[in-house]
Amino acid sequence: MVALALRVTDGQRAYHRGATRQPVFTDLNLEVRTGEVLALLGPSGCGKSTLLRILAGLESLDHGRLEVFGARPSAPKVGIAFQQPSLLPWLTVAQNVALGLRFAANRAARTPDAVSRVLDELRLESVADAYPAELSGGQAQRANVARLVVTGRPILLLDEPFAALDPGTREALQDWLLDLQRARGLTLVVVTHDLSEALHLGDRVAVMSGIPGTIRRVWDVRSHGGRTDRSEAGEAVRRHILSQYDADPRPADRPTTWADTLSDSPQGR
């Protein structure tokens, strides 16, 4: 049995604007396995970021259940990085990375060399004394992730972390992130609307449909070699995910011709 880091069961969430109730997602079921990278792919406005904030505990479900390592969320185990690095501009990189440790919730992660070790590990030591405005986009995003890593949280949620970067930096940071994930055994959920990024990063790719959002499919990418796999099967996975991604929102239970031939898991199970 696969150990689960996160599980959402029958999740529902809506925003209320005056008397209008606008559902963001309905009947959402998602499982994130411990130690995997799950790429969450979907069109803009399908509720990816809302789902991420719910997983991080920043918002709550209207209905349904969220479990973190099989239990109700309690101690901080989940960290979230937003699309914009949001580093505090009056603090240096080292001080930004140390910010989380100043909060009582993370006192367990406080060690004398915690910050310097993470800066070293994430190749940020050369800019430790720089201010955010002095960083390139890639450096800022790495510092943003470092701020989470230092708190020792085993699950990291990244909301389109590389969307604002140029293609070269983005690819370099994708590999950097995977190295980090492997070295620390992290569980990552990465929101993206870039298919190639999802295929490159994700052990599995969860495809969300449009409004109201739901998880339409979860594709096991690693078993098909990921982006580097140029075999027919690998290309088939890519083509199929692309067709799912580009298609108009359809009911989640609508059968697809590829579904039975690939090792996917509808509704994330």
Partner 1 sequence: MRAGARRVGAAFVGLGVALLIWWAAIRFLVPPTGILARFAPDDAIATLVRLLGEGDLVAHAVASLRRIAAGLLVAAAVGIPLGLTLGSIRLVARTGGPVLGLLRMISPLSWTPIAIILFGVGDSPVVFLVAMGATWPIAVNTAAGVAHLDPTWLRVARSLGATRREALRLVVWPGIRPDLLTGLRIATGIAWVVLVPAEMLGVDSGLGYFILDSRDRFAYDELVAAILVIGSLGLAIDGLACFLFGNRRRTVGGRSWFRGRSLQVGSGRGLPARTGQVTAGGGLTGPGVATTPSGGPAVPEPR
Selected from 11, 76, 161, 213, the binder of partner 1 by CB under 8 A is 76
Q: How far is the CB of 23 from partner 1 (least distance, A)?
A: 23
β-strand pairing of 4-17 with 63-68: antiparallel
Under the criterion CB under 8 A, does residue 168 sit at the interface with partner 1? yes
Nearest to 50 by CA among 100, 11, 78: 11
Closer to partner 1 at the Cβ: 66 or 205?
A: 66
Under the criterion CB under 8 A, does residue 79 sit at the interface with partner 1? yes
Q: How far is the CB of 251 from partner 1 (least distance, A)?
A: 34
Residues whose CB is less than 8 angstroms from the CB of residue 63 and which lie 6 or more positions away in sequence, other chains included: 10, 11, 12
Nearest to 158 by CA among 169, 143, 145: 145
Selected from 84, 196, 223, 265, the binder of partner 1 by CB under 8 A is 84
Selected from 169, 223, 256, 267, the binder of partner 1 by CB under 8 A is 169
Under the criterion CB under 8 A, does residue 18 sit at the interface with partner 1? no
Closer to partner 1 at the Cβ: 51 or 218?
A: 51
Nearest to 81 by CA among 125, 41, 140: 140
Residues 55-74: x where in contact with partner 1 by CB under 8 A, - otherwise, as a string: -xxx----------------
Number of residues this chain uses to bind partner 1 (CB under 8 A): 34
Closer to partner 1 at the Cβ: 96 or 214?
A: 96
Residues lying near partner 1 in the complex (CB under 8 A): 56-58, 76, 79-80, 82, 84, 86, 88-90, 99-100, 102-106, 131, 133-139, 147-148, 151, 165-166, 168-169
